[in-house]
Structure 1
Amino acid sequence: MRILVVEDNRSLLESIKSILSNEFEVDGAENGEDGLFLALQNIYDLIVLDVMLPEMDGFEVIQHIREADIRTPVLFLTAKDSLEDRVKGLDFGGDDYLVKPFQAPELQARIRALLRRSGSLTRSQTIRYKGIELFGKEKEVMIDETPVRLTFKQYEMLEYIIQNKGAILTKEQLYDRVWGFDSDTTIAIVEVFVHHLRKKMEPFGYHKDLQTVRGIGYMLKE
């Protein structure tokens, strides 16, 4: 799973990235404009967003994010403990609010709670589709109770596809989610990885469920 942290205090930004990096992929930005650019160009499971930012404050950032119809959960960070700011943040589409200074365990707990609420993280960190089971903590895959070896990126792609079963995912979405906006590879790598995933699923008959939507991308549907 991938998290964006937008915080203008560089030492705090690096501290948060360090805290979260054991569980998640973490990108960082030090101002609102850069944070908004990353949020619009990449696919994140959660955004940690400071309110007081240079260039563009957190409220402006979330306005643009929601106007782009991006529903990613947003956890606001602020040094202000006023009711007005908390209400304003939630009204703009924020999902939770954490007041500075905070302790690492509280930050981690808030993030896990938001991820569970959005469906990105289950309590067991296990994702299922029919006979396919993905165990998030171990990054292991079982298909019809048989262990199947996947590379890390193959696992990430399958996880994202299952989380969005029934929805059409564009090649751009898959590319941004698995490789990231600044990757050196080309978008053609998506077709290669889908091919390999189908080969791994074929002995169990699930390869037919990973359908190609011509000219757009892919969809997992029976």
Structure 2
Amino acid sequence: MRILLAEDDETLGELTEHQLLRRYHVVDWLKDGMDARQAMGSGRYDVYVLDWMLPGMTGLDLVRDIREREDHTPILLLTARDAVQDRVEGLRAGADDYMIKPFAFEELEARLEALFRRQERGIQPDTLRFGALTAHLNRYEVTRDGEAISLTRREFQLLVCLMRHAGQVLSREQLLDQVWGLGADVTLNTVDSTVRLLRKKVDGPYPIKCIQSVYGAGYRLTTGGGSDV
């Protein structure tokens, strides 16, 4: 999942981001409501996790704004407010779920997965296949011709990104944005080095190469061979 996390509490935000990254998600953590609103306009997120009491623009105001713009991305509200009326207000404004602080991360993860399944039911499969490659999204496993391939978290995310856009040329900037996320302290060279490592594992032992460089443009996943263009 690609998650926008809007949380101004440094400790909670850092911990939540860390835990979500460990689960192979891509996370953009923002600390201001107006910054979150601007990021939401990109349309690239699978779910929004919003703290109620954000500076600049509250989480509740963000919910209302999102729904007024007919953005149907699932929303999970985080708040210390535990009154029934507060929960009702948040849900009626357009939030899909609600968690009261403090919360167990395992429950947050389960709720996010449920929201994602609900949103993508019938559209986004749990398994991606392209040629001889198969990626099991829930288990974070990849096989080629039935043989397991051990990948790091970033390599897995990069491969899934390429599989979801199979045949399409993705620039290094696009890959950096979609795999590492906003504000990531990495360079375009990191994209290239990660692609090289991924190629060694996915293509190295096989005569047919899947990950293709397109000179001056980026990378794409193909079944047509291994030469660069």
Unmatched segments (≥5 aa) in structure 2:
224-229
Equivalent position to 2:87, from 73, 76, 81? 81
CA distance in 2, matches of 1:192, 1:42: 28
Letter in 2 for 1:205: I
Counterpart AA for 2:164:
Q
CA–CA distance in structure 1, aligned partners of residues 196 and 21 of structure 2: 30
Computed over aligned residues only, the root mean square deviation of the Cα atoms, in angstroms, reads: 4.3
Contact 2:32 2:55 in 1 (8 A): yes
Question: Which residue does the alignment assign to 2:203?
Answer: 201
Cα displacement (A) at 1:173: 2.2
Q: Which residue type is aligned with residue 174 of structure 1?
A: L
Tell me the distance in 2 between the aligned counterparts of 1:220 and 1:48: 31
CA-CA distance at 1:112 after TM superposition:
0.7
Cα distance in 2 between the residues matched to 1:22 and 1:197: 19
| CA drift at 1:160 | 1.6
Change in Cα spacing, 1:151 to 1:157, as seen in structure 2 (3 Å) is same
Q: Distance in 1 between matches of 2:107 and 2:6?
A: 18
Query: What is the Cα deviation at residue 183 of structure 1?
Result: 3.9
**Residues 1:178 and 1:129: Cα distance change in structure 2 (over 3 Å):** same
The equivalent residue for 1:93 is none
Output one character per residue of 1:26-53: Cα deviation in whole Å (capped at 9) or x when no partner.
Answer: 5533321343456568965432012332
Report what 1:8 is aligned to: 8
Once residues 190 and 10 of structure 1 are traced to their aligned partners in structure 2, the CA distance between those partners, rounded to angstroms, is 28
Q: Aligned partners of 1:24, 1:87: CA distance in 2, in Å?
A: 31
Aligned partner of 2:145 in structure 1 is: 144
Amino acid at match of 2:23: E
2:167 is the counterpart of 1:162: no
Choose 108-117 or 199-208, whichever is displaced more. 199-208
Return the alpha-carbon distance in structure 1 between the equivalents of residues 45 and 132 of structure 2: 27
Aligned match of 2:30: 29
Structure-2-length-normalised TM-score: 0.65
Q: Distance in 1 between matches of 2:207 and 2:67?
A: 40
Corresponding residue number in structure 2 for 1:111: 112
Partner residue of 1:133?
Answer: 134
1:134 is displaced (CA, Å) by 2.5
User: Which digits, 9 at most, give the CA deviation of each residue in 1:103-154, with x for residues without a partner?
Assistant: 435432220112334559x999643323212245664431111233444432
Which secondary structure state, in structure 2, belongs to the residue aligned with residue 8 of structure 1?
A: coil
- 1:51, 1:59 within 8 Å by CA — same for their partners in 2? yes
Match runs of 1:173-184 below 5 Å: 173-184=174-185
* Structure 1, unpaired ranges of 5+: 91-95
Contact 1:73 1:114 in 2 (8 A): yes
- Please state if 1:50 is matched with 2:51: yes
Aligned residues, how many? 212
SS in 2 for 1:182: coil
> How far 1:171 sits from its partner (Å)?
2.8
Which SS does the other structure have where 2:203 is aligned?
helix
Q: CA deviation at 1:75?
A: 2.2
Percent of pairs with identical residues: 32
